[in-house]
Amino acid sequence: MTRAVLIALLAIAAPAAADPGWELHVPERLELAEGTSGTLPIEIAVGKGMAVSKDAPVIVDLVPDGGVTLKRRRLGREDAVNPDADAPRFDVPVRAEAAGDFRIKLHIQFWLCFTRVCRPVDARRTIAIAVSAATR
């Protein structure tokens, strides 16, 4: 077996590795009661020696289904809990307007840097929002 064939077979058999430089931490599900507000935490976690570029924009776009409202649908680094952090974290206020199962689509873009080399990151997630009926 040639070396190229062996490398190709190993690549196919190996599980897909997670990106070693960063992770996006968001809950898979958020539970609220109708008429109440909650917080959707969004955190970019970076590996040792890495940082989210402070010279490039961090763009967080949020698209909620009906029944769930947000004060703002687009956030930037300046909206982070600590805008100067190497890995920004956001606490997004969410209001449940109606009972039911909804979603918020998240699209985040930023530049991940290690020493003097940076690369763009573009990630998408969907968060389930379960809204229980208000007790009267």
The structural domains of the chain, ordered by start, are 19-132 (2.60.40.10)
Buried b (16+ CB within 10 A) or exposed e, 106-126: bebebbbbeeeebeebeeeee
Angle at 121 between CA 43 and CA 66, to 5 degrees: 60
CA distance 119 to 133: 44
pLDDT tens, N- to C-terminus, the chain (136 residues): 444 333 333 333 333 335 678 999 999 999 999 999 999 999 999 999 999 999 999 999 999 999 999 999 999 999 999 999 999 999 999 999 999 999 999 999 999 999 889 999 999 999 999 999 987 6
CA distance 29 to 31: 7
The half-sphere exposure of 71 on its side-chain side, counting CA atoms within 13 A, is 9
What's the pTM?
0.81
